[in-house]
């Protein structure tokens, strides 16, 4: 008996191992009768998967023949994962993406053009989406690759408690760069040893959504109509100075390598920084952590030349290889319906992208901060043309820009040297790309 078992084991174990090895490849696609399973990939943050699951469950109620499985991608490699899935032909059906992911996801054939649906489907009203937001989902070829789910504008968050302590009134909607500098100086506080313990402001300087609009508002430009970098132009360098001087000359804005707080604690939420440049999805975090402070939002100040505000969005697309394009479109349509958009609005992590919901109570909550929600809606009309800065969102280019800012902030080079070097580098990258 024992010997027989031994023989059985000898033949079975390797066989089992092989089966185990192979079984990993073929376990999705078990479809029962007429139910269609849609796979949807979302960015790994809990906020994202909660929203996607909420949308999916509601959608399934009215579409009993479709089931949506949400696949969160953990970590920072969301784009890499989707691009690899595209190469391996294992893409999900519905794909979460952001404005900056639109160009690479087109290049790597992750998402498909949605114009076939938006043109044909009369029940879908594309015109209700803010045109500036719609524009963020458009590719170089004019196709629409992402339906933007939210109104994304860059605004200024300010700590009203710190303003009051300094005897300052709230910033007015018509304020400008000089007002910002004046206020920031008053809000920068040193201790008896001359060490700064509170900064007037801080900004994500090297973030495309921060510096590009800032440069244009102050008379510079970042890219010309031929798609070449203009970082070395004198007017651009002057405009960059208005941003970097806040850190290096006036010392009223917090350098990017400092924090004044322990790791993981937001300096603005901790009251160590009085003003920050940020976006609406930060609101839930500040609502939860800033209980000891009164705070609000205001439109970004006008620059030396004009007011330009960076806009952007996140949204959803349909994968290039889906076997269920129609069902995926139905789901996308639901997400972009008033009902679906209200689900987003209620989470507090995004402003609906539909003009018709601009005053909807789903996201306007009078009992909660911030109160000046019109700042978001009013900023849209100053929104810069997303398409013009699209080439700068390429990760190689944004790395070159970050390097230049790093050099300036660590004192390794002045603005002129750093950005003239970046200019050469960026144009070389863009040239290499166009040659491919």
Partner 1 sequence: MKIKRRMSRNERREALEGYLFVLPLLVGLVGLTLWPVIRSLMISFCQYNIMNPAKFVGGRNYIELFHDPLFWQSLKVTVIYSIVSVPLGLAAGLAVALLMNQKVRGISLFRTIYYLPAVVSGVAVSLLWVWIFNPDYGLANTALKSVGIAPQQWLSSPKTALGSLIFMSLWGVGGGMVIYLAGLQSVPGQLYEASEIDGANSLQQFRHITLPMLTPVIFYNLVMGIIGSFQVFTQAFVMTGGGPVNSTLFYVLYLYKQAFNYFHMGYASAMAWILFAIILVLTLLVFKSSSMWVYYEGERRN
Q: Specify the residue, 75 or 167, whose C-beta has the smaller distance to partner 1.
A: 75
Q: What is the size of the binding site for partner 1 (CB under 8 A)?
A: 34
Contacting residues for 390 by C-beta, under 8 A, at least 6 apart: 102, 103, 140
Q: Specify the residue, 2 or 225, whose C-beta has the smaller distance to partner 1.
A: 2
Least distance to partner 1, CB of residue 7, Å: 9
Asked if 250 and 411 count as a contact pair (C-beta separation under 8 A), the reply is: no
Q: Specify the residue, 83 or 246, whose C-beta has the smaller distance to partner 1.
A: 83
What single-letter DSSP state applies at residue 310?
-
Binding of residue 17 to partner 1 (CB under 8 A): yes
Angstrom distance (rounded) from CA 57 to CA 70: 10
Around Cβ 193, how many Cβ atoms within 10 Å?
6
Which residues within the stretch 94-113 sit at the binding site for partner 1 (CB under 8 A)? Answer: 107-109
Which residues within the stretch 175-234 sit at the binding site for partner 1 (CB under 8 A)? Answer: none
Binding to partner 1 by CB under 8 A, coded x per residue (else -) over 240-259, reads -----------------xxx
Asked if 241 and 279 count as a contact pair (C-beta separation under 8 A), the reply is: no
Q: Give DSSP secondary structure letters for 363-402.
A: T--TTSS---THHHHHHGGGB--HHHHGGGGSHHHHHHHH
Least distance to partner 1, CB of residue 73, Å: 14
Q: Specify the residue, 5 or 262, whose C-beta has the smaller distance to partner 1.
A: 262
Binding of residue 10 to partner 1 (CB under 8 A): yes
CA terminus-to-terminus distance, the chain: 68
Around Cβ 81, how many Cβ atoms within 10 Å?
15
Burial class (CB in 10 A: 0-12, 13-18, 19+), 62: exposed
Least distance to partner 1, CB of residue 130, Å: 31
Options 80, 368, 387, 431; binder of partner 1; rule CB under 8 A: 80
Options 29, 89, 193, 436; binder of partner 1; rule CB under 8 A: 436
Binding of residue 89 to partner 1 (CB under 8 A): no
Binding to partner 1 by CB under 8 A, coded x per residue (else -) over 116-155, reads ----------------------------------------
What are the structure tokens assigned to 295, written together?
A: 């705070």
Angstrom distance (rounded) from CA 308 to CA 158: 19
Binding of residue 412 to partner 1 (CB under 8 A): yes
Binding of residue 410 to partner 1 (CB under 8 A): yes
Options 87, 234, 326, 417; binder of partner 1; rule CB under 8 A: 87
Binding of residue 90 to partner 1 (CB under 8 A): no
Asked if 287 and 298 count as a contact pair (C-beta separation under 8 A), the reply is: no
Which residues, in sequence order, are bridge partners of residue 39?
Answer: 69
Options 2, 5, 21, 25; binder of partner 1; rule CB under 8 A: 21
Least distance to partner 1, CB of residue 341, Å: 33
Which residues within the stretch 254-283 sit at the binding site for partner 1 (CB under 8 A)? Answer: 257-263
Which part of the chain contacts partner 1 (CB under 8 A), choosing from 159-167, 226-234, 383-391, 400-408? 400-408
Q: Specify the residue, 342 or 407, whose C-beta has the smaller distance to partner 1.
A: 407
Binding of residue 11 to partner 1 (CB under 8 A): yes
Asked if 402 and 425 count as a contact pair (C-beta separation under 8 A), the reply is: no
Least distance to partner 1, CB of residue 17, Å: 5
Binding of residue 19 to partner 1 (CB under 8 A): no
Options 71, 294, 374, 403; binder of partner 1; rule CB under 8 A: 403
Contacting residues for 180 by C-beta, under 8 A, at least 6 apart: 171, 201, 275, 301
Q: Give DSSP secondary structure letters for 235-297.
A: HHHHHHHHHHHHHHTS--B--TT--SS-TTS-TTTTTSEEEEEE-GGGHHHHHHH-TTS-EEE
Q: What is the largest CA-CA distance in the chain?
A: 92
What are phi and psi for residue 132, nearest 5 degrees?
Answer: -65, -35
Binding of residue 74 to partner 1 (CB under 8 A): no
Binding residues (CB under 8 A) for partner 1: these are 10-11, 13-15, 17-18, 21, 77, 80, 83-84, 86-87, 107-109, 257-263, 395-396, 399, 402-403, 406-407, 410, 412, 436
């Amino acid at each position: 008996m024992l010997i027989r078992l031994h023989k059985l084991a000898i033949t079975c174990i390797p066989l089992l191992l092989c089966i185990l090895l192979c079984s990993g490849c073929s376990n999705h696609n078990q479809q029962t009768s007429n139910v269609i399973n849609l796979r949807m990939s979302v960015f790994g943050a809990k906020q994202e998967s909660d929203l996607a699951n909420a949308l999916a469950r509601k959608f399934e109620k009215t579409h009993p023949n479709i089931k949506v499985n949400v696949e969160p991608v953990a970590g920072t490699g969301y784009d890499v994962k989707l691009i690899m899935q595209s190469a391996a032909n294992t893409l999900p059906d519905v794909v979460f993406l952001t404005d900056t992911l639109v160009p690479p996801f087109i290049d790597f054939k992750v998402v498909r053009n949605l114009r076939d649906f938006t043109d044909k489907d009369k029940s879908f009203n594309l015109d209700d989406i803010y045109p500036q937001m719609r524009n963020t989902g458009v590719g170089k070829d004019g196709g629409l690759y992402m339906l933007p789910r939210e109104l994304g504008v860059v605004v200024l968050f300010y700590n009203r408690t710190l303003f009051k302590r300094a005897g300052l009134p709230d910033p007015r909607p018509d304020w400008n760069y000089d007002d910002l500098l004046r206020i920031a100086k008053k809000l920068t506080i040193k201790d008896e040893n001359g060490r700064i313990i509170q900064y007037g402001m801080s900004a994500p300087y090297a973030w495309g959504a921060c510096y590009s609009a800032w440069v244009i508002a102050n008379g510079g430009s970042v890219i010309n109509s031929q798609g070449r970098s203009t970082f070395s132009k004198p007017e651009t360098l002057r405009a960059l100075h208005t941003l970097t001087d806040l850190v290096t000359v006036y010392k009223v804005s917090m350098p990017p390598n400092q924090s004044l707080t322990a790791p993981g604690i937001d300096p603005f939420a901790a009251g160590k920084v009085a003003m920050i440049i940020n976006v609406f999805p930060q609101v839930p975090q500040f609502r939860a952590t800033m209980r000891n402070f009164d705070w609000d939002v205001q439109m970004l100040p006008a620059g030396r030349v004009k007011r330009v505000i960076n806009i952007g969005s996140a949204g959803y697309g349909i994968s290039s290889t889906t076997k269920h394009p129609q069902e995926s479109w139905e789901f996308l349509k639901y997400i972009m319906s008033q009902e679906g958009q209200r689900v987003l609005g209620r989470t507090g992590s995004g402003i609906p992208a539909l003009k018709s919901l601009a005053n909807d109570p789903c996201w306007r909550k009078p009992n909660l901060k911030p109160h000046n929600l019109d700042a978001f809606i009013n900023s849209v009309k100053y929104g810069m043309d997303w398409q013009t800065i699209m080439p700068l969102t390429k990760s190689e280019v944004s790395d070159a820009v970050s390097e230049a800012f790093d050099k300036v902030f660590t004192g390794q080079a002045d603005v002129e040297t750093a950005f003239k070097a970046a200019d050469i580098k960026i144009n070389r990258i863009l040239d290499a790309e166009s040659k491919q």
